[in-house]
């Protein structure tokens, strides 16, 4: 059984308790981060903390702990669960208060919950075979740059993608791809340019995305941050996604159409290798 962290206490996962009046539960009034762990160390931790700070500040949720304390809790969870490879989920909600749409005034303590998930991140069969995605309308709210726990539509989209025999969904707004259900989306065009949507309220600023764009530029690739259409994606040489849980994963099929020759792309493979290499070196 896992050890989890709930509001100041480490406990067995079946003993972690949050109030039924928690606003995370009643209003999805909370934010989260997912940090990957390789060789028992945290990947891109400072980036995840910076994004958490921004998410909390956009919603006026007070910080439940200092960054040093959060790092210490992450490390203790890694130790207590002997987590060599996997993910740490951290959720911060506004806390428990009488049910009212109005943000509660005054003395309310944010809830802080962390738990681990064991899983292979480095050696994933999908990295060699590639993912199939289908496109679906992006019906999420208009502040996707804030990493909130309102994940119902992404869950619906992923479930619909599975129902259609695919692995995931790419979400589309006004004919242009925003991002994947829980990852950022990229294509490589015939000229070898890497194209991904620019940051805005329309997408989550992926921590992996920021590392990948820097590494891509460093390796001499042309990076174009601009929206791309489904048509452009179908004609692409390569496609892939990035996230803390998948790092870089090739996409080999979109809406039943093969991308490139239908095999994982060379650039996606190279960026995956470089990213993992650097992530391990800079892990904390």
Q: Which is nearer to ligand PDD, 3 or 36 (CB)?
A: 36
Beta-carbon-side half-sphere exposure of residue 269 (alpha carbons within 13 Å): 10
Q: What Cα–Cα distance (Å) separates residue 76 from each residue in 5, 10, 283?
A: 10, 9, 16
Binding of residue 35 to ligand PDD (CB under 6 A) = no
Closest separation in Å from C-beta 247 to ligand PDD: 9
Q: Where are the alpha helices (DSSP H) in 195-265?
A: 207-218, 230-234
Which tokens hold the place of 69? 């304390």
In the set 80, 147, 162, 258, the catalytic residue is: 147
Instruction: Please tell me the count of residues contacting ligand PDD according to CB under 6 A.
Output: 14
Per the annotation, the verdict on 147 as an active-site residue is yes
Q: Tell whether residue 182 is a contact of ligand PDD (CB under 6 A).
A: yes
CA angle, 220 then 123 then 35, to 5°: 75
Spatial contact of 14 and 60, defined as CB atoms under 8 Å apart: no
CB closer to ligand PDD, 260 vs 272: 272
183 binds ligand PDD (CB under 6 A): yes
**Residue entry with tokens 């340019």:** 193
34 near ligand PDD, judged by CB under 6 A: yes
- List the one residue from 242, 249, 271, 279 that touches ligand PDD (CB under 6 A): 242
Give the footprint of ligand PDD on this chain (CB under 6 A). Answer: 34, 179, 182-184, 204, 206-209, 242-245
Catalytic amino acids? 147
């Amino acid at each position: 059984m896992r050890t989890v962290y709930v509001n100041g206490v480490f406990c067995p996962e079946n003993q972690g308790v949050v109030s039924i009046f928690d606003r995370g539960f009643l209003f999805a009034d909370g934010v989260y981060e997912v940090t990957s762990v390789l060789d028992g160390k945290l990947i891109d931790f400072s980036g995840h903390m910076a994004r958490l700070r921004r998410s909390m500040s956009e919603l006026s949720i007070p910080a439940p702990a200092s960054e040093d304390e959060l790092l210490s809790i992450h490390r203790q969870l890694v130790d207590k669960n002997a987590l060599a490879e996997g993910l740490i989920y951290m959720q911060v909600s506004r806390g428990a208060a009488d049910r009212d749409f109005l943000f509660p005034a005054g003395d309310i303590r944010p809830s802080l919950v962390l738990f681990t998930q064991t899983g292979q991140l480095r050696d994933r069969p999908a990295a060699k075979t590639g993912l199939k995605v289908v496109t679906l309308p992006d019906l999420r709210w208009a502040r996707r740059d804030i990493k909130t726990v309102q994940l119902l539509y992404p869950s619906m989209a992923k479930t619909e993608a599975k129902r259609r025999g695919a692995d995931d969904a790419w979400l589309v707004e006004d004919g242009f791809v925003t991002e994947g259900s829980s990852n950022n989306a990229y294509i490589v065009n015939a000229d070898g340019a890497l194209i991904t949507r620019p940051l805005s309220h329309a997408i989550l600023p992926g921590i992996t995305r920021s590392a990948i764009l820097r590494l891509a530029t460093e390796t001499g690739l042309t990076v174009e941050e601009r929206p791309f259409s489904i048509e452009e994606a179908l004609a692409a040489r390569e496609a892939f996604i990035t996230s803390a849980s998948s790092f870089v994963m090739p996409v080999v099929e979109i809406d039943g159409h093969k991308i490139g020759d239908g095999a994982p792309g060379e650039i996606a493979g190279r960026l995956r290798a470089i990213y993992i290499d650097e992530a391990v070196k800079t892990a904390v």
